[in-house]
Copies of this chain bind each other. A is one copy, B any other.
Amino acid sequence: MRRDVFQAIADPTRREIINLLAAKSLNLNAIADNFKMSRPAISQHVKILIECGLIKIKKNGRERFCEVKFQKLKEVSKWVEQYSSFWNNKLDALEIYLSDIKTKVEPKK
């Protein structure tokens, strides 16, 4: 069972959980309130996020508050940003511009 950050953020529900927790640390029920799916389903998503290190738990009585460990996202950032020069360089812009022209000139393709 692979359990890495890339896998973890592949699921839209888990990305949304991270979004919620970015604003504010929440306990499990508070997270679940934001979704239509069952509480155990959310519990399982949170478990995956914990296992890959994206979330840490702070226990307070019977409540368990989740907070995001954003440093873990660096892994993804590093991988993606190594290509950033490709998508914002001049050549790339030229390419888009040309294929755009082409579309206008021969639209039947």
Interface pair A74/B87, CB less than 8 Å apart = yes
Query: Which of B2, B6, B70 meets A83, CB within 8 Å?
Result: B70
A80 contacts across to B, CB distance below 8 A: 73, 76-77, 80
Interface pair B77/A84, CB less than 8 Å apart = yes
Closest partner residue, chain B, to A78 (CB atom): B80
Q: Give Cα A18 to B12, complex, Å.
A: 22
Interface pair B84/A71, CB less than 8 Å apart = no
Closest partner residue, chain B, to A89 (CB atom): B70
A interface list, Cβ under 8 A from B: 2, 6-7, 9-10, 12, 15, 18, 22, 68, 70-71, 73-74, 76-77, 79-81, 83-84, 86-87, 92, 96
